[in-house]
Amino acid sequence: MPDFTDLTPLAPWREIRATEADRTALDPETGRTMLSQLCLIRAFEEKVLDLAGRGLVHGPAHSAIGQEGGAVGSALAMRPTDQVNGSHRAHHQFLAKALAYVAEAGIDPEAEFDGEIRDLSKKTLAEIMGLAQGFCRGRGGSMHLRWAEAGNLGTNAIVGGGVPMAAGAAWAHQQAGTGDVVYTYFGDGAVNIGSVLETMNLAAAWKLPICFFIENNRYAVSTHVSEATAEPRLSARGLGFGIPAFKVDGMDALSVLIASHEANRIMRAGEGPVVIEADLYRYFHQNGPLPGSAFGYRDKAEEAEWRARDPIEGLAGLLQTRQIIGEDAVAGLRARCAAMMEEIAGELTETVEGKTRVIPSLWPEESFRDAGLRGDLSEMDGARYEEEDSFSGALDANAKFIDAVANVMHRRMDTDERIVVLGEDVHRLKGGTNGATRGLSQDFPDRCLGTPIAENAFTGLAAGMAADGRVRPVIEFMYPDFMWVAADQVFNQIGKARHMFGGDSPMPLVLRTKVAMGTGYGSQHSMDPAGIFATAPGWRIVAPSTPFDYVGLMNSALRCDDPVLVIEHVDLYASKGAAPVDDLDYCIPLGKAKVVRPGARLTILTYLAMVEKTRQVVEDLGVDAEIIDLRSLDRASLDWETIEASIRKTNNVLIVEQGARGTSYGGMLADELQRRVFDWLDQPVQRVTGGEASPSISKVLEAAACARPADIARAIRAAMADQGLPLAAE
């Protein structure tokens, strides 16, 4: 018979309940403010549901009626400089944090509300209704609320999607040494999502000051928590990561306040993250003004049981028992909250022919549709631009490409303390797997962060760093295929953030990755990501093909306030070319292509490692072709002036890329070309791509899957023959 020894978790797991002594000791002003916040949020949510029921809220209305205690209790434990983010059901959290900010001295439940409280309520309601007066100018709606000044980092429609970003903000606080903390709110549905668990692990490993605040309202839409997990006490998740965890009655705002103060004590002492699980209940369905029982997944007895524990009634009863406020004053408070919301709604709507509608002048202008998707690059003002052919500094004609990568990153980290590099193994192996981060961990140990194998978490963490504004993160994906592991953070979060939150929120982040076709790493390590990123909103893309260009384009990427994908290629790492000897501070403009070889009969558009391969083929064939290295690949940065000037001269265009046909960058580019230069083309746009399938391990099949010099030569001959042109200039 073996011996069995019970193991003890590294972190404590406790339930916290306010005692009678705590209730007796509750500061009257804190209690009065808490009650005021609860009533203001309840009235706000009731008005949202009223408007939604009348068709005046476009899209979902995820109310948090019944859940206010968790938001108010935790927000009142925070400093104004602490931060929060949340998920799709977050009106109450947004308002609780914002109310604590605009009324830092407290709210008198027996006085008229001041203008700041009213303005906050109106601006929030306008956003939920999709109006230009909202915090995000109507783009965010119910699920995307951001007010950075008040500490609201931005709520999120992807369940659990904002959790990694909150960890990034927590890292920035930790690095700044302010003692500030971040609360990330999510529900029982998000607890089992990979990005949440990945972030818990990373936050615990790095001792980040973040509170994972779980609102356990029992239902993810209609699925009960007991159906989704064998351990419905969700705070147990913390134990697996060594995170202290507290379970608390979320219907009791005072118990939440006490638990939050204890969490803050741990986090502010530098002891790492905390989990708080608040047991609470949403009175209504996932979306809209009907209860869950109307849809058959809850019964009325259960709903009545929870309503009997209403957080407003409970706190009001305590304050009345202690004679801090009277029954009539509570009734007056609730009436004033409802009246204020009625007035605000009346300022946003009008009645025409007996029907209520949104006042038409309050809608955003249609011209605002794409504004702010990316910034205007005004941050590049004052940059010194250089090109290799006009560079006056010393050049090393035989510099290795990978050395230029490492050298410029070292230079930028040496001159800009905001820059942080993170990714798998970037701090080991003498500069990661390819040497791109050589020397960084030795010279900048606090800013070269080797991460767990958790792309979703560390990519989102970098996004949170960037959104915070004090950090410029550089992420390394060992291979671009790993973007699919982090797809939510890459595309839903980073790429959309600036636009989604109104267009004014910079996202200064660089994502480095390498195309590894030809290395034998197979289908899941070999893709060219340009086509995917170019068809996703928000990203800028650069693809340097020479050491000199890498330095200039990386400097521009690190200066830019938009997210920038920097694509590298393993074929280029060992290649040699001209690079600056000691001047690593120049930029190359985002949006400026380079004519690599002039010509008059054919325009060839290409990028990355295919630039030199194409040039060699053209020289071997003796073709009168103009080769353009695109360098900047995103829609906003394509150099149409250079491209169009060439095509007007040649009337003939060929796009050359190495990667798979299905995710082809050239497909997007060809579509744009035929819209712009159709009248100048003597024949359709021609393309060279790889095969439909991803490269596989077999050396022969991998070679066949990638576009090769023979494919380029074949396409050039066809493009010239279709016009009846000789290969060479006559």
Average pLDDT estimate for 292-305:
94
Report, in this order, helix, strand and coil percent for the chain, each rounded to 5. Answer: 45, 15, 40
- The backbone torsions φ and ψ at residue 67, rounded to the nearest 5 degrees and listed phi first, read -105, 10
- Give percent of the chain with pLDDT exceeding 90: 94
Average pLDDT, the chain: 95
Q: In 3-state terms, what secondary structure has residue 497?
A: helix
d(CA 626, CA 181): 56
Of 262, 455, 657, 702, which residue is the catalytic one? 455
Contact status, residue 263 vs residue 212, Cβ threshold 8 Å: no
pLDDT per residue as tens digits for the range 96-120: 999 999 999 999 999 999 999 999 9
d(CA 179, CA 1): 52
Contact status, residue 215 vs residue 280, Cβ threshold 8 Å: yes
Average pLDDT estimate for 241-263:
98
Query: Which DSSP letter does residue 385 get?
Result: B
The reported pLDDT for the residue numbered 518 is 86
Please check the confidence at residue 722 and state whether its pLDDT lies above 80.
no
- Give percent of the chain with pLDDT exceeding 70: 99
d(CA 684, CA 523): 31
CB burial of residue 55 (10 Å; 0-12, 13-18, 19+)? exposed
Residue reference for tokens 């939050």: 260
Pair type for strands 625-629 and 594-597 = antiparallel
pLDDT per residue as tens digits for the range 606-622: 999 999 999 999 999 99
For residue 248, what are its two tokens?
């608390």
Q: In 3-state terms, what secondary structure has residue 426?
A: coil
- The backbone torsions φ and ψ at residue 253, rounded to the nearest 5 degrees and listed phi first, read -60, -30
Is 455 considered catalytic here?
yes
Contact status, residue 73 vs residue 41, Cβ threshold 8 Å: no
| Number of C-beta neighbours around residue 352 at 10 A | 10
The reported pLDDT for the residue numbered 144 is 95
Query: Which DSSP letter does residue 663 get?
Result: T
Cα dihedral 578→583→585→590 (10° resolution): -20
Query: What are the residues whose beta carbons fall under 8 Å from the beta carbon of 201, sequence distance 6 or more?
Result: 241, 452, 454, 457
pLDDT per residue as tens digits for the range 148-185: 999 999 999 999 999 999 999 999 999 999 999 999 99
Average pLDDT estimate for 411-435:
96
Is 525 considered catalytic here?
yes
| Number of C-beta neighbours around residue 644 at 10 A | 15
Nearest to 244 by CA among 215, 222, 277, 218: 277
Of 91, 173, 410, 525, which residue is the catalytic one? 525
The reported pLDDT for the residue numbered 417 is 97
Question: Whole-model pTM?
Answer: 0.95
CB burial of residue 590 (10 Å; 0-12, 13-18, 19+)? buried
The reported pLDDT for the residue numbered 730 is 46
Query: What are the residues whose beta carbons fall under 8 Å from the beta carbon of 340, sequence distance 6 or more?
Result: 43, 113, 118, 121
Contact status, residue 314 vs residue 251, Cβ threshold 8 Å: yes
Pair type for strands 510-515 and 210-216 = unpaired
pLDDT per residue as tens digits for the range 367-381: 999 999 999 999 999
Contact status, residue 473 vs residue 466, Cβ threshold 8 Å: yes
CB burial of residue 636 (10 Å; 0-12, 13-18, 19+)? middle
pLDDT per residue as tens digits for the range 542-578: 999 999 999 999 999 999 999 999 999 999 999 999 9
